[in-house]
Structure 1
């Protein structure tokens, strides 16, 4: 029996259109990833740098090391998940197992003991690596469920729209809760985002939310296990595993998406890491005002959920992704460029907050739509690869994507810390006390680097080749083989 027929023997019948409850349960689990991702990207650098006292470059290096080491587990998790056999299917055993360790390790991350800088650096590396590893145990199998739940070209875009919606909604919601409730100014900490006690309370609340999100999503999609793919039982050697992994990920369109993801992840790490610095020191906003701007991401997530499917259906996934990425760059950088040119409202001007809110909402909405489209394009690679190789490797594809995202988002955070060092940004700085020259250098560096990263992503997306007609023809051929 050929490899393709062996795979086809375990193929389920064409999946029906997914109900709203399935999309909601599936997407809700991404709240956990969103909380972790927003915490790492928006709060962790300023917490360990300005609150704990580690140099920015040291914090950036620690995060990057942890993410790079942890990311090695992604392809392994993907391959294991693809070939796992149990009465709970390929994905759900790992999703359930990750819940409690994710919550516990996240609490430890925000409650470091009093240690000398060298040991504190090691603590940050180890704990960050642990939390990311257990998130991998949930996120890779969860991501791989989407191509199994539906093979429909446009339905996949809708599924990933819900996934991105909940990821952003959960992450932003917890960040706003942190800024509005836990990181409030006090007599000892007049700048709320520098309140150490607040971060400790935030860690417990965030951990509880992550625990619930993972368990609810796993339980809510559990009923679909009987109709999901069961891999054929076969004997494989370690060299064979690596050969198959290499052959699978060599897919041209997949590689283009990986390159696009590389630039996107670096840009996102840069954007989120420096956003709180820009809000605090460039725009001189309070924690409450920053929370209001962060609330614009709720609107962004809703806009993306609404508009991603019709934009994709109207002009195609690839062209829509390129357009949305270009719009995101324009919305993200225009306020800073106008401030550097001296034509943006001054700090404290009544127009400042509405303009920043609108620009931020649109920049994030177009970023989310781009992510939705790239994920949906990634799902379409699954069948194209299956037709060519005879192996269905959802977990491997999404794990390699996560691998790249983890590594280079760490690079993005490292670039952020390098920019802070390059512009000589002071440690322990108070808003209004940083010289205008330093602020201008920070803004200019941010715009230039972000534009270069977005340009690289747009170029890579342009080289993706799978169309709707290609996908439908591939699914039809696979059905005939099965």
Structure 2
């Protein structure tokens, strides 16, 4: 396979760097949401946990619904910049503005707050999809080479994890500067993160568009997605390996985001540590994941994506189980488990997104069409539906368990034993169940490096014979 056509697939360092930067803004915003939004609703805006969970569920379900619509629309876009870039360029500013508006507490009336946060959440999720989904679909348009895609995604998720760490560092600095005023803390956090999130999207556009256009010299010929949406969905879901990738991604990210959402409650309410400790724990996890991202990327070239996923997730499961049994005062052990969890979380970033372009190649071999948008959108669609349900159940479980929401301006209340047990279950056994299912699906995933090489060989032969 080491022929000139394969060498042409190699991407420069600067192209990879620019592509990776495109995920920095969405990562910053998504990470702040995952770690702080539920906590912000209950402990700053003063909403009950059940209502807060409902707001998040509505936002995620609406987000999931708009994914396939925007995915198909981006596949059908005809523009001098290509199919993906117009969405990113024109969606970046609204994306930043709507993110900031989530962190305002405009009233003390719970009914008004519920309506406000639902509307802003729905609009922000549309803007997020407009920017991030076409960006993600750039991967197979930049290169078709198996290992090069893994390398490209390692740059992407280096920025993603780096953005997550940066957001936590920013949060810690802002919280220390505005002590005693949580409303102002989150307002400033929203402004700063919104500004930082928008600029790298334009870096990605200017840094990669020449490479993308050179790989798609006649974009109108690739725009062959004239089938009705329902028919495209049927074709996508008839692709067996695609279903496995969806499942692996869903299980991995449920593990990540459920843990992240409950982590502030775990650190403050169970471990009885100051709120300032929480960003430090999260930085430990994300920092380890950032370092391990490149280690796993190199290792995958030798042993394959599936083996890397198995190794990382097994370590991750050990960490989740340990968090369930850890007791207040065992701070050193908590940080050690955070490091072990970071080993596994990095594979959740890297592996599923490195698999999806291979599935798209298989679909092109079977159908003669390239539909990156529809595959990426439905991958994210099902992940968001599952996440919406998961976050809703966590909020309801805390409510049923007797979790006491914080009243703005008042000290943090002492939680009952039932609420503390619910927090421990949400951070330990619940993510572990999803991770075990993800391991099973990864074991059954059929596209190996050798299989993918054969797919590319057949695609090239088809093009030569036309």
Q: TM-score, normalised by structure 1?
A: 0.88
1:63 and 2:44 aligned: no
2:96 is aligned to 103
| Superposed CA offset, 1:199-246 (max 9, x none) | 001110010011112122222212223213324277876x63421232
1:121 and 1:431 map into 2 onto residues whose CA distance is 22
Could you say which residue in structure 2 is the equivalent of 1:35?
Answer: 28
Structure 2 unmatched runs, 5+: none
Aligned match of 1:321 in 292, 305, 309? Answer: 309
Name which of 226, 232, 252 aligns with 2:221. 232
Q: How does 1:112-127 map to 2 (within 5 A)?
A: 112-114=105-107, 116-127=109-120
Structure 1 residues 434 and 235, CA, compared in 2 at 3 Å: closer, same or farther?
A: closer
Determine if contact 1:157/1:308 at 8 Å carries over to the other structure: no
SS at match of 2:106: coil
Matches within 5 A, 1:213-228: 213-228=200-215
Distance in 2, Cα, partners of 1:61 & 1:432: 22
2:424 is the counterpart of 1:443: yes
Q: How does 1:387-398 map to 2 (within 5 A)?
A: 387-398=365-376
**Offset, 1:313:** 2.2
Q: 1:259 aligns with which of 247, 263, 276?
A: 247
**How many Å apart are 1:295 and its aligned residue?**
2.1
Superposition CA RMSD, Å = 2.2
Corresponding residue for residue 358 of structure 1: 336
Partner-residue secondary structure (3-state), 2:82: coil
Partners in 2 of 1:301 and 1:159 — Cα distance? 17
CA 1:231–1:466: 2 relative to 1, 3 Å: farther
User: CA offsets per residue over residues 330-362 of structure 1, 9 Å max, x none?
Assistant: 1233133143xxxxxx52xxxx44432232123
Structure-1 residue corresponding to 2:322: 334
Q: Name the structure 1 match of 2:192.
A: 205
Q: What's the offset of the Cα at 1:310? A: 2.6
> Equivalents in 2 of 1:431, 1:357: separation in Å?
24
SS in structure 1 of the partner of residue 221 of structure 2: coil
Counterpart CA distance in 2 for 1:40 and 1:139 is 15
Aligned partners of 2:382, 2:318: CA distance in 1, in Å?
25
**1:16-38 CA-partner distances (Å, limit 9, x unpaired):** 31111111111111111111211
User: Could you say which residue in structure 2 is the equivalent of 1:174?
Assistant: 167
Counterpart CA distance in 2 for 1:417 and 1:372 is 29
Cα drift, residue 254 of structure 1: 0.5
Q: 2:351 aligns with which of 350, 359, 373?
A: 373
Picking from 278, 282, 288, the partner of 1:294 is 282
Say if 1:416 and 1:176 are closer, same or farther in 2 by CA, change over 3 A: farther
Q: Does 1:128 align with 2:144?
A: no
Shift of 1:136: 0.7
Residue 477 of structure 1 corresponds to which residue in structure 2? 458
* Shift in Å, 1:442: 2.8
Aligned positions of 1:422-461 closer than 5 A = 422-428=400-406, 433-436=414-417, 438-461=419-442
Mark the runs of 5 or more structure 1 residues left unpaired by the alignment: 1-11, 190-194, 340-345
**In 2, Cα distance between equivalents of 1:228 and 1:112:** 47
In 1, Cα distance between equivalents of 2:7 and 2:130: 28
* More deviation, 210-219/443-452: 443-452
Match of 1:291, SS state, is helix
1:74–1:402: 8 Å Cα contact kept in structure 2? yes
Q: Is the 8 A contact 1:71 1:406 kept in 2?
A: yes
User: 1:232 is paired with a residue of what secondary structure?
Assistant: helix
Count the aligned residue pairs: 454
